[in-house]
Homo-oligomer: A and B are copies of this chain.
Amino acid sequence: MLSKSAEYALRATIYIALKGSEDNKLGIDEIATAIDSPQSFTAKILQLLTKNNNVVSSVRGPNGGFYLTDAARKLPVRAVLEAVGENGVLTKCVLGLKECSETRPCPMHEQYRTIKAQLRQMFEKTTIHDLAEETRKGKIVINNRLVKKK
C-alpha cells in the first residue's frame, strides 16, 4: 500500500509528535530505535520532512534534534505522504492506467472510487495530532514490540 519511506515517515512523525517538543528535541538514534526503522535511511526521510511541507523541524548541534511545531501537529496525514512523494494512492488508477478519470474509467474504477474517497478522507481529515493522541490514549503501537507505558 505505502512505500517503506512513507511508512517510516508516518511512524517517525507520530513518534516525534508524541515524545518531542521544542524543548525536548529527539535525536535520530532515539527515533529510529523507537519506531524500528533503519537509522540512516530514517535520517534521509526526516530530511525530506523538514524540507517539504514543514512537517518536521530540526536543529543541529548539542541538544539539537527533531520536533514538531504546533502548526505541524495540525497537518493532515496527507502532508506527510506528500513530503515523501507518496500521494499517488489517492490519484492513480488501480489497474495502472496512466489516467484515472470518470470519463475514461477502467473496469475497477467504479468500485474503487468509494474506497479512494475514503482513503482521501482518512488522509486529509486525520491530523498528525490525531494519530499521536490515538497512540497516547490506547494500547496503540508504532513499533514491533509492546508499547511501554511511561
Contacts and interface: CB of A to CB of B under 8 A. Distances in A.
A122 B122 CA distance: 19
Interface residues of A, number: 46
Given A110-B134, A118-B118, A141 B97 contact: yes
Interface of A: 1-2, 4, 7-8, 10-11, 14, 77, 88-89, 92, 94-99, 103-112, 114-115, 118-119, 122, 126, 131-132, 134-135, 138-144, 146
Contacts of A146: 104
Given A1-B94, A7-B94, 20 more contacts: A1-B1, A1-B88, A2-B95, A4-B96, A7-B95, A8-B96, A10-B95, A10-B108, A14-B107, A77-B108, A95-B142, A97-B141, A97-B142, A105-B141, A107-B132, A107-B140, A112-B122, A114-B118, A115-B115, A115-B119
